[in-house]
Chains A and B, each alone.
Chain A
Amino acid sequence: MKTFSTGGVHPPENKLTANCSIQYLPLPQSVAIPVSQHIGTPANIVVNKGDSVKTGQVIAESKGFVSAFIHSSVSGKVNKIDTVIDTSGYRQTAVFIDVEGDEWVDTIDRSEEILTDIKLSSEDIIRKCLQSGIVGMGGATFPSHVKLTVPAGKKCDVLIINGVECEPYLTSDHRLMLERGEEVLIGTTILMKALNVSMALMGIENNKPDAIEHLTRLATGFKGITVYPLKVKYPQGAEKQLIKALINREVPSGRLPLDVNTVVHNVGTAFAVYEAVQKNKPLFERVVTITGKSVAKPGNYVVRTGTPVSKLIDAAGGLPEDTGKIVSGGPMMGKAITNTGVPVVKGTSGIILFPKSESERKSPEPCIRCAKCVSACALNLEPYLLMTLSEKGLFEMAGKERITDCMECGSCSYTCPAGRPLLDYIRLGKATVIKMARERVIKN
């Protein structure tokens, strides 16, 4: 069975919600929709306080190439434009909307019918992705139209669809593949058309045999799509690792997948692209897993963006008493959130409620030079060294040791028997090195 060659760990899977079918979360009374739900320039707000908006209406326009449109996820009145602490942990501008009914924009096709015919041309598909605010749904939220625009001089010969979901606990992609398999495959075909490629490979980890079987059966009806089961190993869902696993090409340091003639999109993105292109529905809701060992009713919910996390927790049977940390995203790469008023955004794949016993950090012990972190690193870096360099403030040297290659998957911290905060320091070093490089560019 295929997998990537270097490093990797296998944390306990804990996919508690693998059998919970997708449900619709009731609409909240109000939503707070941040204007920066993507990597790149924050969108430009085009509504004012007191305006009435419909579900699916544009409330913020993309500003610059790497940016995305933001749409209202509910119908109602704009209450205020203020700041909110979002999943990134920082204060951000957001549009607060009081919900009144649920009136959708007329152009959205709300029928259940599955449309297989793709009428739009390649350019139209890319434009549609931009206007619908599609971003990478795997968590990185990189605007999809940028990835679909192949720059002159580069070519793409294979599309990779990421159905790996290597993070423990999360099952939103898994359920999407099972319940909306056909739409995901049509979305894949649309992406293939946009990129003008004839082959798409879909990688799914072997811990989801039902999804593999279901999609393999469905894929026989689609030209050029092949489903590959992959050996369970974290971080297989990372772009570079998935490319290595599926087509055995290695993306060089500091380069993009397009440099090895491929593009990777998540299954969630494929589904969002299907809805945008075929149903004219912009991206304003997504599947979110709410889970945790002491959660009464864990599940997978379709949640409108801007819905406070507290609503999701209520749907799951309330906040367990022993909760120590609430993590947005997966347990490996996710971030603890500061309060339950934090809104769900386009990149929120899951909310995990960790009991106190599982959320406490080990007190760090001295490094024993066991090199487990080196074996765990999927990018051939030396985490122990990068941590020390960063801790001592030797950022120039850390840059030479390629600290900027780190994708912050957390395998090193996970595997360290001494409980050392490897990733914390590497992240600091990486941010500093990037800042220094930028300052150097400005100076010259």
Chain B
Amino acid sequence: MSSTIIITVVSLSLLAFMSAVILYFIAQKFKVFEDPRIDEVQAVLPAANCGGCGFAGCRNFAEALVKAENFDGLLCPVGGAVVMGQAAKLLGKEAPVIEPKVAVLICNGSPEFRPHTSKYDGVPDCRIANTLYIGETDCSYGCLGNNDCERACTFDALHMDPLTGLPVITDDKCTSCGNCVKACPRHIIELRKKARKDRKIYVACSNCDKGGPARRACKVACIACSKCVNVCEFNAITIENNLAYIDASKCTFCRKCVTECPTGSILEINFPPRKPKVEAEAENATINP
């Protein structure tokens, strides 16, 4: 009885030892060298696997970072300057200068301003609606409101407002990964430079039609009247294709264009409320008697 146990234990131990020796030599023979820095770099990446960097996932991006000579064209939009700085430190390279960005919807056509002229009862998918016709309103450039961007957002930063039918972007959650920009078939989401206190001034319209048709389709459309261009002292505004565009890198947030715009298509976000005109004048009077 006891000999059976001994034979079993001994033979199994021998078998285990032999297997271990064979496996050790095989592991030595077929060893794949992997740069240990890849793991280190991957550890500092956000692990969101969103694809915002243009790679399939964070691991692929880490490999690309380790392989790359310098960081030109490589950016993790989610991690931003902090993560890229850490990665650069690990790899002993120079960290690129990154300006944080945020997604902005270049359309303000809620039903209040942009009346519906037809009803779409097809598949609730912007890509499909966009291949069929100009949309439920007379504007062939604005938001179609079928949630493609909301579905594309992996950071819970973008939700449709049931009242306006337009997506609302939460600046704090937005990582500027650009998935919504890619998902929108009308290309009306833009990544703009982030400013202090999340302040933004931008032309919230994408309508390239001439003034008349644009205004008829939507009350807050840009009619390319050039008033904003003339009032801007910093040459930040240009008009192309019947549409004004404010260059965020030149804009100084003076807000003059906002009051000048006759249709109200230029929006100011996160600014303190303006003082009523009379009060402001009175204040000026006291300062400069």
Interface of A toward B, CB cutoff 8 Å: 82-83, 85, 88-91, 335, 338-339, 360-361, 421, 424-425, 427-428, 431
Contact = CB atoms under 8 A, between A and B. Distances in A.
A90 B209 CA distance: 13
B254 interface: no
A12 to B, nearest CB: 22
A335 B133 CA distance: 10
A425 B125 CA distance: 10
Interface residues of B, number: 16
- Chain B binding surface, main DSSP class: loop
Contacts of B213: 82-83, 91
B123 A83 contact: no
Interface in B105-142: 117-118, 121-123, 125, 127-128, 131-134, 138, 140
Given A90-B140, A335-B132, 18 more contacts: A82-B213, A85-B134, A89-B133, A89-B134, A90-B133, A90-B134, A338-B118, A338-B133, A339-B118, A360-B121, A361-B122, A421-B123, A421-B128, A424-B125, A425-B123, A425-B128, A427-B128, A431-B131
Contacts of B118: 338-339
Contact of A428 (B117, B128, B140): B128
Contacts of B121: 360-361
A354 to B, nearest CB: 12
A133 B121 CA distance: 36
A57 to B, nearest CB: 27
A432 B117 CA distance: 28
Nearest to A430: B131
Contacts of A424: 122-123, 125, 128
Contacts of B128: 421, 424-425, 427-428
A107 B133 CA distance: 39
A338 B117 contact: yes
Contact of B122 (A88, A91, A338, A421): A421
A221 to B, nearest CB: 46
A370 B211 CA distance: 52
Which of A85, A90, A335, A338 has the largest count of B CB atoms less than 10 A from its CB?
A: A338
Contacts of B125: 424, 428
Contacts of B209: 83, 91
Contacts of B138: 85
Contacts of A90: 133-134, 140
A43 B127 CA distance: 28
A165 B125 CA distance: 32
A428 B127 contact: yes
A19 to B, nearest CB: 33
Contacts of B140: 90-91
Question: What 8 A-B pairs come out closest when comparing CB atoms?
Answer: A89-B133, A338-B118, A421-B123, A424-B123, A428-B128, A424-B128, A91-B140, A431-B131
A335 B132 CA distance: 9
A427 B117 contact: no
B117 A339 contact: yes
Interface string B136-163: 0010100000000000000000000000
Interface string B41-72: 00000000000000000000000000000000
Contacts of A89: 132-134
A90 B122 CA distance: 17
Contacts of B134: 85, 89-91, 338
B183 to A, nearest CB: 10
Contacts of A88: 133
Nearest to A85: B134
Interface in B155-196: none
A83 B141 CA distance: 14
A164 B67 CA distance: 64
Contacts of A425: 123, 128
A428 B131 contact: yes
A232 to B, nearest CB: 29
A360 B133 CA distance: 18
Nearest to A364: B123
26 contacts: A82-B213, A83-B209, A88-B133, A89-B132, A89-B133, A90-B133, A90-B134, A90-B140, A91-B134, A91-B140, A91-B209, A91-B213, A338-B117, A338-B118, A338-B133, A338-B134, A339-B117, A339-B118, A421-B122, A421-B123, A425-B123, A427-B128, A427-B131, A428-B125, A428-B128, A431-B131
Which of B133, B134, B138 has the largest count of A CB atoms less than 10 A from its CB?
A: B133
Nearest to A432: B127
A58 to B, nearest CB: 26
Contacts of A427: 128, 131
A198 B260 CA distance: 72
Nearest to B213: A83
Nearest to B122: A424
A109 B172 CA distance: 73
A83 B140 CA distance: 12
Nearest to A427: B131
A361 B128 CA distance: 15
Which of A88, A427, A428 has the largest count of B CB atoms less than 10 A from its CB?
A: A428
A91 B127 CA distance: 18
A261 B117 CA distance: 47
